[in-house]
């Protein structure tokens, strides 16, 4: 299980997990199915990169805005300071399933996506 905004790496693209949901092999876990409390582990490296997590290419943690919500935020700031910056890896990021390449949508079985219009 990963968070919706976590980036999985497929075909050279970083894709938010929420954009990969197909309702079958990849699905949202309803809040009601989650434990009242759960722990999330992040792997943070000096550079934003790709690692294998449970056999799947996955991005390392990059702090967009959510670090301040972590229960160990004060400990992190004491160790590393507020201004630590990790440069995002140079890959295109997709956050919506409608922006996935058609071949990838078909391979993953994502069929309920409204196609992008070719006219404005």
Predicted TM-score (pTM) of the model is: 0.82
Query: How far apart, in whole angstroms, are the C-alpha atoms of residue 22 and residue 18?
Result: 9
Query: How far apart, in whole angstroms, are the C-alpha atoms of residue 84 and residue 72?
Result: 16
Is the pLDDT confidence value at 90 over 80? yes
Is the pLDDT confidence value at 105 over 80? yes
- Radius of gyration of the chain, Cα coordinates, nearest whole angstrom: 16
Is the pLDDT confidence value at 116 over 60? no
Q: Report CA-CA distances (Å) from 45 to 17, 94, 95.
A: 20, 22, 22
Is the pLDDT confidence value at 118 over 60? no
Query: How far apart, in whole angstroms, are the C-alpha atoms of residue 5 and residue 92?
Result: 14
Q: Counting Cβ atoms within 10 Å, is residue 110 exposed (0-12), middle (13-18) or buried (19+)?
A: buried
Tell me the mean pLDDT in the region 24-35: 89
Identify the bridge partners of residue 58 per DSSP, sorted by sequence position: 8, 51
- Condensed to tens digits (0 to 9), the pLDDT of residues 42-76 reads 898 989 999 999 999 999 998 877 788 888 899 98
Mean pLDDT of the chain: 88
């Amino acid at each position: 299980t990963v968070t919706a905004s976590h980036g999985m790496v497929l075909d050279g693209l970083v894709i938010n997990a929420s954009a990969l949901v197909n309702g079958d092999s990849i699905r949202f876990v309803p809040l009601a199915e989650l434990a009242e409390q759960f722990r999330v582990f992040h792997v943070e490296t000096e550079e934003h990169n790709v690692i294998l997590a449970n056999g799947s290419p996955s991005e390392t943690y990059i702090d967009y805005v959510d670090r301040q919500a972590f229960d160990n935020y004060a400990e992190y700031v004491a160790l590393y300071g507020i201004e630590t910056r990790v440069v995002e890896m140079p890959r295109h990021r997709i956050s919506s399933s409608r922006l996935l390449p058609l071949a990838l949508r078909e391979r993953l079985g994502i069929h309920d996506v409204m196609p992008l219009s070719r006219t404005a």
